Amino acid sequence: MKKILGVVLASVIGLFFIACGNDNTDTLEAIKSKGVVTIGVFSDKPPFGFVNKNGENDGFDVYVSRQIAKDLLGDSSKVKFELVEAANRVEFLKSGKVDIIMANFTKTKEREEVVDFATPYMKVALGIVSKGGNIKSVEDLKDKKLIVNKGTTADFYFTKNHPEIELIKFDQNTEAFLALKDGRAEALAHDNLLVFAWAKENPGFEVGLSRLGDEDVIAPAVKKGDTKLLEWLNKEIETLNSNGFMKEAYKNTLSDIYGDSNLESVLFAK
């Protein structure tokens, strides 16, 4: 009886360790096995990630994601796009709902503790857009309301450095920019590339403060400890930065807004 119990106990312990080991499944091999890579992108952050008038995913991050699928699985169509919000990007990786996040994800020390970032592909800082560009400094926000998106670097920056400024927070970019247009706050803070693009499409609004805080980088991210997929993705982004693909992606999705002259200051492309 003791012998039988010992065998059963050993089997249970073995299954426990197998289950624990599977917590960090080899995602790279799993992607190859199922023949599709699931990538998290935005639906409402043009020109980086959005759903176009034909109901298709579009934008810079989507353009790059299709190339990742092509290089990984041999076919640019072998990608499943999962729509994410800024605040749930980490959770989507942790839960395995996506394999990779390509949703204009700014690399920060806090985020590095919970996800693994691959090689960056873009540079970014914070910017502030307001009616007529009236907000030209943080001091101009005294006794005024500022719109941010939950879980973004703008949210973190102002919460940490300027707790005296009243923040109005939204989950979705669409809601945030609509609130600005409706006059529910004097200004909106977000990635400077995004507010430049939005202001260009919305006459009467200007980016009065184009660079705030440190210059950060945008990079793809994978689940913490997903080593093999991270190594593959590092090499992939390095290749796309150096072989001219990122410049191609910029010209096809961003140049109409930012102009070709800004390419070198925005990308890591060589």
Please tell me the predicted confidence (pLDDT) of residue 25. Answer: 60
Task: Identify the helix (H) or strand (E) that includes residue 190.
Answer: strand 187-191
Share of the chain above pLDDT 90, in %: 79
Cβ-Cβ contacts under 8 Å for 248 (sequence gap 6 or more): none
Q: How far apart are CA 150 and CA 172, in angstroms?
A: 8
Q: How far apart are CA 243 and CA 155, in angstroms?
A: 35
Residues 94/76, Cβ–Cβ less than 8 Å:
no
Q: Max alpha carbon distance in the chain (Å)?
A: 83
Please tell me the predicted confidence (pLDDT) of residue 125. Answer: 87
Name the residue among 116, 115, 141, 114 with its Cα closest to residue 128: 141
Q: How confident is the model at residue 100 (pLDDT cuts 50, 70, 90)?
A: very high
Domains present along the chain, CATH in parentheses: 26-121+219-266 (3.40.190.10), 124-216 (3.40.190.10)
Alpha helices, DSSP H, located in the chain: 2-21, 27-34, 60-73, 89-94, 109-112, 153-161, 173-181, 192-201, 227-242, 245-253, 255-258, 263-266
The CA-based dihedral angle spanning residues 245, 118, 17, 31, taken in that order and rounded to the nearest 10 degrees: -10
Tell me the sheet residues that pair with 40.
82, 101
Share of the chain above pLDDT 70, in %: 90
With 80 as the cut, is the pLDDT of residue 44 above it? yes
Rounded alpha-carbon distances, angstroms, from residue 100 to 83, 181, 269: 12, 33, 21
Model-wide pTM > 0.85: no
Please tell me the predicted confidence (pLDDT) of residue 166. Answer: 97
Please tell me the predicted confidence (pLDDT) of residue 208. Answer: 95
Lookup: tokens for 193:
């590339």
Please tell me the predicted confidence (pLDDT) of residue 71. Answer: 98
Read off the pLDDT of residues 234-265 as tens digits, 9 standing for 90 and up: 999 999 999 999 999 999 999 988 888 778 77
Amino acid at 194: L
Give the burial class of 216: count Cβ atoms within 10 A of its Cβ; 0-12 exposed, 13-18 middle, 19 or more buried: middle
Strands 57-58 and 49-51: what pairing? Answer: antiparallel
Q: How confident is the model at residue 11 (pLDDT cuts 50, 70, 90)?
A: very low
Read off the pLDDT of residues 149-158 as tens digits, 9 standing for 90 and up: 999 999 999 9
Please tell me the predicted confidence (pLDDT) of residue 260. Answer: 81
* Mean pLDDT for the stretch of residues 68-82: 98
* Mean pLDDT for the stretch of residues 18-27: 54
Q: Across all residues in the chain, what is the average pLDDT?
A: 90
* Mean pLDDT for the stretch of residues 37-41: 98
Q: How confident is the model at residue 20 (pLDDT cuts 50, 70, 90)?
A: very low
Please tell me the predicted confidence (pLDDT) of residue 213. Answer: 84
Strands 166-170 and 100-101: what pairing? Answer: unpaired
Residues recorded for the chain:
270
Read off the pLDDT of residues 183-238 as tens digits, 9 standing for 90 and up: 999 999 999 889 989 998 999 999 999 889 888 999 999 999 999 999 999 999 99
Distance of CA 235 to the CA centre of its chain: 19
Cis preceding-peptide flag for 47 (omega within 30 of 0) = yes
Higher pLDDT, 95 or 125: 95
Q: How far apart are CA 103 and CA 45, in angstroms?
A: 9
With 90 as the cut, is the pLDDT of residue 134 above it? yes
Q: How confident is the model at residue 14 (pLDDT cuts 50, 70, 90)?
A: very low
